[in-house]
Structure 1
């Protein structure tokens, strides 16, 4: 397997809490890329161990996967099932937890923020949400070929960050005209307590209809859905990473009551939080812990980019 860890100083793989027969790296991209591609991950597991065969992904922003595993990988996204993923794929922005079936091998993931979507992709994020698309359908073929070739012949561990930084820095398109508004919308949909979308739209100087249109174009969903997703993940990820801690105070600071939280769990997990946590999520939990150690936040969908000086607290 690969060498687990990170190039970030002071981060140690022993703190990830990885299950046996698995490995993981999390990396922070080069400064010029961080607001667009918030993180890189390298996932690996040994073949033939039942607890490594099925894992889960939580709803998040879009993501590129480069699959270097020899055995097939299958994923279900809502009612869509993808029985054998191709080598280079794009996950659109997702709104449901997704089961992943594999049998060992390396996969490299590149997270894409809404700012990154505006910069690298012409398609609407709404069109490609909750689905998987071959990467060559949405990015230049020569870029996809270089990604696959260089990663395939790398050590698939310590060399990955440098390769991805180099490829995406050279491929970086000019700034998109909507990026200032996209950054403002990111602050809205990731802020703790934002509930009044009309007031939030006024604060950033746009009409609510334009807020909705831009949100669907670059974020994949209307802002109300994104607020609900962020609210749920903010509570649920703490429950996953620190299951022995009391979470009632965190829950009641965000939700009116527990039934409200359970309704969101049904929407975003398809089941109750306890049912989800009773499944094979040990590797997912280690990945959440690792990302928080490397980047400060366990999932890119809770990143605030650029850092908000003035978070909209309207509740």
Structure 2
């Protein structure tokens, strides 16, 4: 499959083609995973460009993601002062608390969003080990998954077949429950709730000590709970402003912000600059993806993707290590 062959769009028949409009020579596709995978994978994104000259693009801080390159030139990723690359064809982008920039040279990039619940069922490793890092997928999640994705995508000649392939590759990989499933679901729901920002409040709602919340968040979500909650609050506010073209209308920011200057301090933390300067930079794919993802999946960005099912009542805590994978009975 070549970039020239990507038509873009989605397998969902209810989304207007206008959601996927891109500049000439570029195409974009979004698809929902199979419902059986919806708790673990937050969406499939495909970006394509036929132009092989270097192109810069900025992206918002996000949860973990798998990226596979097809017929693509070298790609490098910059997160803060750290530069990764050229990255492997199959790469793992760890959870980020900073906006990151990519430099591409055409081709196709297939992105697979991974929820905290999905991460917990795939590996016993801590997501915190990959905070603001990009690593070969073979290192993060194993050579077998990396090889299956690369070989499968290389064999396709139609972008509409990417979703069925990914559904097939991931089918069965999340079947083993984790002891913290209910807690991970419940915390995920709180991170996308307006006004929730205090760690003590969250710990009380989840009925766990704050030190246990800190450990769980770092292990499964990749960073301390306070940083996760601040990231979600900032992104909720930032995206409301930019999608309404109202960067000066601070009445739309999250209710837990004291004032506009409080919000702008968070912009410095998560974007590295002001919202206006960030949007004025290289954000062609970002702005298009916010529109298309919202139309197909319901949330404009992966960091604001909620739980696929209602969070169940939390079970009683055991005296054992709740973050250790238990053997099957």
Q: TM-score, normalised by structure 2?
A: 0.88
Structure 1 residue aligned with 2:26, among 14, 22, 26?
Answer: 22
Residue 254 of structure 1 and its aligned partner are, at CA, apart by 4.4
Q: Specify the alignment match of 2:323 in structure 1.
A: none
Residues 208-287 of structure 1 aligned to structure 2 (within 5 Å): 208-243=210-245, 247-251=249-253, 253-287=255-289
Q: How does 1:1-315 map to 2 (within 5 A)?
A: 1=4, 2-48=6-52, 53-155=55-157, 157-243=159-245, 247-251=249-253, 253-307=255-309
Q: What whole-Å deviation, never above 9, does each CA across 1:96-146 have from its counterpart, x for those lacking one?
A: 111111111001000011101101122101111100111111223222211
Contact map agreement 1:42 1:156 (CA 8 A) in 2:
no
- Taking the aligned partners of 1:26 and 1:188, their CA distance within structure 2 comes to 26
**Aligned mates of 1:171, 1:307 — CA distance in 2:** 19
Distance, in Å, in 1 between the alignment partners of 2:128 and 2:311 is 29
CA contact (8 A) 1:198 1:208 kept: yes
CA distance in 1, matches of 2:246, 2:201: 38
Q: Distance in 2 between matches of 1:157 and 1:170?
A: 23
Structure 1 stretches of 5 or more lacking a match? 311-315
Distance in 2 separating the partners of 1:309 and 1:153:
39
| Distance (Å, rounded) in 1 between the aligned partners of 2:48 and 2:249 | 31
Between 1:182-191 and 1:10-19, the stretch displaced more is: 10-19
CA distance in 2, matches of 1:241, 1:251: 12
What is the RMSD computed on CA atoms of the aligned residues?
1.9
Looking at structure 2, the residues matched to 49 and 80 of structure 1 have their Cα atoms a distance apart, in angstroms, of 23
Give the count of matched residue pairs. Answer: 308
Instruction: Give the superposition deviation at 1:252.
Output: 6.4
In the other structure, the counterpart of 1:313 is: none
* Segment drifting more, 234-243 vs 131-140: 234-243
For residue 173 of structure 1, report the CA deviation from its aligned partner.
Answer: 3.9
Bigger shift: residues 214-223 or 201-210: 201-210
1:120 touches 1:173 (CA, 8 Å); kept in 2?
Answer: no
Q: Say if 1:40 and 1:291 are closer, same or farther in 2 by CA, change over 3 A.
A: same
Q: Secondary structure at the match of 1:177?
A: coil
Structure 1 window deviating more from structure 2 (225-234 vs 168-177): it is: 168-177
With the length of structure 1 as denominator, give the TM-score of the two structures.
0.92
Distance in 1 separating the partners of 2:310 and 2:237: 20
